[in-house]
Amino acid sequence: MKKLMFGLMLGSIMLCVASSLFAEGMTFGVKGGLNMAKVTGDDVEEADWKMGGVGGVFLTYAISEIFSVQPELLFSMKGSKETFADTTYSYKVNYIEIPLLAKVYLPTEGKIKPHLFAGPAIGILLSAKATSDPGDEEIDFKDETKSTDFGFLAGAGVEYKMESGSVLFDVRYEVGLTTIDKGDGEAADIKNSAISFMAGYGFAF
């Protein structure tokens, strides 16, 4: 609960600071979608994609017609799957995630605005649990998982501009920069990765 409150407070502070610094050219919105996540790294033998949800809020400040800065505050379901001897193990790792994105809009005519974006992201761990099928026994491994995760993401999207805001869709890939394994001695090389498909709506003000 403390980590959840810290994440919400940090994200709120970021949005409030941006609001106070920039009074014009801003868009506040909500978005949500699907994560396809798995772990990678030298100590990962086999891993399959695991589906989960992702969603939250964002604030976009347009510095110019082609360049914007966009902090986000998201709930992101990550993890992985693996199968051994006819048993499937599902690892569910949930985060409050705060990306800080730089967006570049491609010059086009009309209301449809494609764009590219990239930037760092910090994740604050909420829970880490594993289940097996068959068996369905749930194991909590939060104590063996680092409380923060650092990643970098890049992607592309499109916005349909309207008078009061815009409808948006984006696809992004995020790669973990640090291992999520806490480890008593030398930590195992296990990193998050995810492909996300998100849609949302932004209100201009």
**What's the one-letter identity of residue 25?**
G
**Of 96, 70, 84, residue with least CA distance to 3:** 96
Q: What is the pTM of this model?
A: 0.84
Confidence of residue 161 (pLDDT cuts 50, 70, 90): confident
Identify the pLDDT of residue 194: 97
**2-204 to CATH, choices 2.40.160.20, 3.40.50.2300, 3.20.20.70, 3.10.20.30:** 2.40.160.20
47: phi then psi, degrees, rounded to nearest 5: -150, 140
Q: Which residue has the higher pLDDT, 85 or 148?
A: 148
Confidence of residue 24 (pLDDT cuts 50, 70, 90): low
Q: From CA 132, how far away is CA 31, in angstroms rounded?
A: 31
* Cα dihedral 5/155/79/183 (nearest 10): -80
DSSP 13: H
